[in-house]
């Protein structure tokens, strides 16, 4: 039981606020107690964070006075729907937050995707539910960039099948979208001695030139002039299926396409047609195509996919993105900071 001095108008701890709104007689008071629920932050991950990342998230959340709830390796959407029912914030990785999830999350104020891409969040539905959606740009970028270069080496060495391959030094690398990942790809590729070009309609030429990168002004120009393309565009209505036969046909003999972006940007049917015609072309990806089995059979030695999306699967990226997501949630709930909001 909490004892309040009779001259107080209210007193509070982390979970309760006590109001004393009226005096009936000389020394008689009526006490009204309102319970203020401690805010809950849910980490919902089919592919869990590393333990050290979860520990860091927990520290950030609990230091702010909030409760952390974990839903890891869940099986089926219903588990997610049940878990979101009373939470105020959600941290996700590649997990889907759609209108059904938002309908079930009656108290939800913010959802943060721990990573750069956020096409797994229904932004229109989030806005309709007055939920702020954020990503954590830059936290996974080095991890994805290192994988992209690793895939390039694997491709030019013929998937390590024991035959003679080629080198990256002196080859022309085209970076399709010059954001955080693209910049890191450029940084690492310089160490391989590659010539670097980039196309990004939203990045000024001066930024690229200052970083030793040659700007080009269309996807067609990029694909026509580069030996290797590293793909980093998001999946939007404009980009879905945009990497098609017409675009790839402009690439030079012996070309390599590296996709660490999104599966949806590839027109798979046309990619298969193109690779059947162009026996010199190689495709390596961090996002398994729907036609993976067929492509393995048709293009042995020219095609490779990781078994699951692995660009951000490093201990460092886990820690960086997870803790950044937790900090952004606290900053939003405490200060209203919407710097990384993606559904404005």
Domain count, the chain: 3
- Provide the residue range defining the domain that includes 116: 40-139+314-335
Residue 198: strand, helix, or coil: strand
Number of continuous H segments (helices) and E segments (strands) in the chain: 12, 15
Residues 199, 230: Cα–Cα separation, whole Å? 11
Query: Are 187 and 330 found together in one domain?
Result: no
> What CATH number does residue 99 fall under?
3.40.50.720
Query: Are 198 and 259 found together in one domain?
Result: yes
pLDDT per residue, tens digit, the chain (344 aa), is 333 333 333 333 344 443 434 444 444 444 444 455 799 999 999 989 989 999 999 999 999 999 999 999 999 999 999 999 999 999 999 899 999 999 999 999 999 999 888 999 999 999 999 999 999 999 999 999 999 999 999 999 999 999 999 999 999 999 999 999 999 999 999 999 999 999 999 999 999 999 999 999 999 999 999 999 999 999 899 999 999 999 999 999 999 999 999 999 999 999 999 999 999 999 999 999 999 999 999 999 999 999 988 998 898 998 999 999 999 999 999 999 999 999 98
User: Rg of the chain over CA atoms, in angstroms?
Assistant: 25
Cβ within 8 Å of residue 241, ≥6 positions away: 264, 265, 266, 267
Q: Is residue 344 part of a domain?
A: no
Query: Are 48 and 116 found together in one domain?
Result: yes
Residues 74, 94: Cα–Cα separation, whole Å? 13
Residue environment code for 294-309, b if the CB has 16+ CB neighbours within 10 A, otherwise e: ebeeebeebbbbbeeb
Which two three-digit tokens encode residue 28?
């008689």
Closest by CA position to 111, among listed 67, 96, 291, 164: 96
């Amino acid at each position: 039981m909490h004892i309040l001095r009779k001259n107080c108008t209210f007193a509070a701890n982390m979970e309760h606020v006590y109001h004393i709104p009226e005096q009936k007689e000389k020394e008689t008071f009526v006490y009204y107690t309102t319970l203020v629920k401690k805010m809950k932050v849910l980490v919902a991950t089919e592919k869990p964070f590393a333990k050290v990342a979860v520990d860091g998230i927990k520290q950030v959340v609990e230091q702010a006075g909030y409760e952390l709830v974990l839903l890891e390796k869940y099986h089926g959407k219903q588990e997610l729907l049940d878990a979101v029912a009373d939470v105020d914030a959600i941290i996700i990785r590649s997990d889907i937050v759609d209108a059904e999830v938002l309908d079930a999350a009656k108290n939800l104020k913010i959802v943060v995707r721990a990573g750069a891409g956020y096409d797994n969040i229904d932004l229109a539905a989030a806005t309709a539910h007055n939920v702020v959606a954020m990503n954590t740009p830059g936290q996974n970028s080095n991890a994805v960039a290192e994988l992209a270069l690793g895939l390039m080496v694997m491709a030019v060495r013929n998937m390590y099948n024991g035959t003679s391959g080629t080198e990256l030094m002196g080859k022309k690398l085209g970076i399709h979208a010059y954001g955080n990942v693209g910049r890191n790809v450029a940084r690492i590729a310089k160490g391989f001695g590659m010539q670097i070009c980039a196309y990004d309609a939203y990045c000024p030429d001066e930024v690229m030139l200052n970083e030793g990168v040659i700007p080009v002004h269309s996807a067609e120009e990029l694909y026509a002039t580069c030996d290797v393309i590293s793909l980093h565009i998001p999946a939007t209505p404009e980009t879905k299926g945009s990497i098609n036969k017409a675009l790839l046909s402009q690439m030079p003999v012996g070309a390599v396409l590296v996709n660490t972006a999104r599966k949806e940007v590839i027109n798979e049917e046309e990619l298969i047609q193109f690779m059947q015609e162009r026996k010199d072309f190689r495709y390596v990806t961090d996002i398994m195509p729907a036609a993976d089995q067929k492509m393995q059979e048709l293009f042995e030695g020219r095609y490779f996919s990781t078994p699951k999306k692995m660009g951000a699967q490093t201990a460092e990226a886990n820690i960086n993105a997870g803790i950044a997501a937790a900090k952004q949630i606290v900053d939003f709930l405490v200060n209203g900071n919407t710097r990384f909001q993606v559904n404005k």
